[in-house]
Amino acid sequence: MFQLIEPDIKIIPLKIWMARRIAAIHCQSFALDSWSYETFKDLLDNHHVSGWLIIVNCHVAGFLMIRCIEGEAEILTFAISPKWQRHRLGTALLKTLREWAQKNSVEAVFLEVAIDNVAALRLYHSQGFTSVGRRRDYYTYKDGSCVDAELMVLRFLASPTGFEPVLPP
């Protein structure tokens, strides 16, 4: 008889020393041009930028990076290592973002996602994000071709208990 073992999942704040590891995950996770170690290091050195790393059984599985300025946050990038995709880790990171946004009086979280990234679009819609526009030829693939980005937002309303997500109609 087999015994199912629950994975040990930890979500911790991003730190500048993690830049090399998250750059590697970014490179593995996208067919688009990936960001360099230096780019991640510079971003994490900015006091408006933060995020979370997700670790499964002592293995770095993914991350979510945001920039927050005056009540608005933007998901700068978000990646789960291919080995760990389809294990609801993205949902766990978005839940962490939602809880953080509510505690910090964030009114809206914005993001851009490639229109051909069906899994990501499905995930964002399931978490309450709504489409609000499109950016033409926003992303460039490694082969030089371009793809549009869907601009999405998750809005929060002030309530007596804090900021609550606005659910789409």
Determine, yes or no, domain membership for 151: yes
Q: Is residue 3 part of a domain?
A: no
CA dist 73 to 58, 102, 105, 154, Å? 29, 11, 10, 10
Q: Is residue 147 assigned to a domain?
A: yes
* pLDDT recorded at residue 129: 93
| Residue 91 included in any domain | yes
pLDDT tens for each residue of 39-64: 999 999 999 999 999 988 888 889 99
In a domain, 143, yes or no: yes
pLDDT band at 6 (very low <50, low <70, confident <90, very high): low
Domain membership flag for residue 2: no
62-121: per-residue pLDDT in tens? 999 999 998 899 999 999 888 877 878 899 999 999 899 888 888 899 999 999 999 999
Whole-model pTM? 0.84
> Is 60 exceeded by the pLDDT of residue 168?
no
6-to-3, 56, 57, 82, 85 alpha-carbon distances in Å: 10, 10, 10, 20, 17
Is residue 152 predicted with pLDDT exceeding 90? yes
CB atoms within 10 A of CB 16: 13
Range of the domain at 88: 9-165
In a domain, 1, yes or no: no
> What CATH number is attached to the domain comprising 153?
3.40.630.30
The pLDDT, as a whole number, for residue 114 is: 92
Q: What is the mean pLDDT of residues 16-40?
A: 85
Asked, for residue 27, whether it belongs to a domain, the answer is yes
Q: How many domains does the chain have?
A: 1
- Quick one: what percent of the chain has pLDDT higher than 70? 86
Would you state the pLDDT for residue 78? 92
pLDDT at 21: 92
Q: How many other C-beta atoms are found inside a 10 Å radius of the C-beta of residue 112?
A: 19
